[in-house]
Structure 1
Amino acid sequence: MAKIAVIVGSVYGAAQYVAEEALPLLSTQGHEVTLFEEAKLDTVLAFNADSWLIITSTTGQGDIPDNLLPFYLDVQNRFPLLTGKQFAVIALGDSSYDMFCGAGEALRALLLEIQGTELAPMLRIDAGETLEPETIALPWLQQQFC
C-alpha cells in the first residue's frame, strides 16, 4: 500500500497517544508507517513517504509544540516544494481559546504553500468536547487511509 510518515507534535501527550494508536491501525491495513517524534526535515524526506500525516496539539496562544517547531521552521526556511505530496493533518486544541487548533492550521497552511496536496480536510478535535481524541481520530484515519 502506501508509505506514511507520521509526524507528531505533542506537549502533554495527547497527540503522541493518538499517533501511537494510529500506527497499528495503519500497519494492519498494509501501510508502511514510521513515527517521527522529533522530526527532522532531512530524515522525513529520506523516508520518501507517499503521504505525511501530521498529528499535533496546540500550545500557548496557537503555538506549535516545541518538539515540532524545528521541523516547521526548517520546512518554512528551506521551502522544499512538495509538489503533489499528499498530506493530512489532525489538530488537537481547545475551542475555548482564540487560536483553536492554531498549530494544525499553521502546518496545513505551510504544506499547502509548498504545493502539498491535502488528502482530506483537516480534522479538528476539541479537548472541550472529548478527553479521548483517539475515539475521533481513529475512525477518521480509517476513512482516509484504509
Structure 2
Amino acid sequence: MQKIAIMVGSVYGGAEYVAEQALPLLTNKGYQVQWFQPAELNEVLAFAADCWLVITSTTGQGDIPDSLFPFYMACKDQFPLLTGKKYAVIALGDSSYDTFCAAGQQVNELLVELQASAVAPMLEIDAGETLQAEDVALPWLAEHF
C-alpha cells in the first residue's frame, strides 16, 4: 500500500477543507494517508511517504500561509533530497491578484529542487471561477492518484 503525506497551508480554511475531502477519496483508493497538521519535516520524513501532497492557498503578497511556512523553511534549510518520491501541489488563489497561486508555485519549485517528481502539473484553482475548490480538486485527485 502506497503512503501519501498531506501538508496544508490555509488562511481561511479553504485548503483545509480540500484536504478533509481528499482524505477519504485517497483512502478509498487504497492509499495509506496521513495529514500532518501542522507539518513537521522530521515527522513527514519518518512517515516515509511515497508521495507528498501539498494543498495551499496564497496570502499577503504571494506568501506561504503561516500554517505551512515553517515546514517550507525546514525543507529549504535541511534540503532533504526526495529522489524517487512523487509529489503533487494543489494551489488555491484568486486570479484578480498578481500573486495568483504564488505560494503553490514556491512549494512546487522547492519540491523540484529537492528532486521529487510531479505526479501531474500543479493544479491552480481560481476562487474567481470556482466557489468550492473541492469541486475541481477531487476530480483532479481521482484522475492522478
Give the TM bin, normalised by the shorter chain.
over 0.9
- Say which SS state the counterpart of residue 131 (structure 2) adopts: coil
RMSD over aligned Cα atoms: 0.6
Matches within 5 A, 1:10-89: 10-89=10-89
- Say which SS state the counterpart of residue 87 (structure 2) adopts: strand
Post-superposition shift, 1:99? 1.0
Structure 1: gaps of 5 or more residues: none
Match of 1:96 in 2: 96
Matching residue's letter, 2:56: T
Distance across 2 between alignment mates of 1:105 and 1:37: 21
Distance across 1 between alignment mates of 2:128 and 2:62: 16
- Say which SS state the counterpart of residue 121 (structure 2) adopts: coil
Distance across 2 between alignment mates of 1:35 and 1:139: 19
Identity across matched positions, percent:
64
| TM-score between the two structures when normalised by the length of structure 1 | 0.98
- Say which SS state the counterpart of residue 125 (structure 2) adopts: strand
- Say which SS state the counterpart of residue 60 (structure 2) adopts: coil
Distance across 1 between alignment mates of 2:115 and 2:125: 25
Post-superposition shift, 1:114? 1.1
- Say which SS state the counterpart of residue 43 (structure 1) adopts: helix
| TM-score between the two structures when normalised by the length of structure 2 | 0.98
Matching residue's letter, 2:90: I
Encode CA deviations 1:75-115: one digit per residue, 9 max, x unaligned: 00111111121000000000011111000000000000111
Match of 1:126 in 2: 126
* 8 Å CA contact 1:9, 1:37 repeated in 2: no
- Say which SS state the counterpart of residue 7 (structure 1) adopts: strand
Post-superposition shift, 1:24? 0.3
Distance across 2 between alignment mates of 1:105 and 1:84: 21
* 8 Å CA contact 1:4, 1:52 repeated in 2: yes
Distance across 2 between alignment mates of 1:10 and 1:60: 12
| Matched residues, number | 145
Distance across 2 between alignment mates of 1:2 and 1:94: 33
Distance across 1 between alignment mates of 2:56 and 2:37: 11
- Say which SS state the counterpart of residue 140 (structure 1) adopts: helix
